[in-house]
Amino acid sequence: MMSNESIAVEPEWPMAMHDVVMILINRGYLHSPEDVTIVRPGYKPVSPCGRGGPEGPLKPNQLKWMAEKGKFYFCWYVGSYLRLNLKKGVLLKELILDPTKQNVWEFLCEVEKAFK
């Protein structure tokens, strides 16, 4: 059974998530708001990127705000994670980052190297 306990967020989590998402947007791997989701088991998922108009690019404004503040605008519950659906025409890969189990900066470096 999942705990409904929210956990303390390290300030580097939102900063690293923003940086990863920006790298992947700039390199053409993330296209729609559904490509960037924070999954919270037992709770509504969060889509922190909006589209800049009907045909516009993703707008990472919420991710930027979180990175600058060093916190999320929602509760991070036990078992939550960032899910990224990478696409180049078709779905290539799903990346998952659980900052409670992975080092966010190592994840950022791996993404930087793997998706050029």
What's the pLDDT tens digit per position in 71-81? Answer: 999 999 999 99
Domains: count for the chain: 1
48, part of any domain: yes
Range of the domain at 67: 12-111
pLDDT at 60 over 50: yes
88, part of any domain: yes
66, part of any domain: yes
25 or 92: which leads in pLDDT: 25
3, part of any domain: no
- CB 12, CB 105: distance < 8 Å: yes
Residue 88 to residues 11, 25, 60, 64, Cα–Cα distance (Å): 31, 11, 19, 24
1, part of any domain: no
Cα(61)–Cα(70) distance, rounded to whole angstroms? 14
Predicted confidence at residue 4, as pLDDT, reads: 67
pTM: 0.87
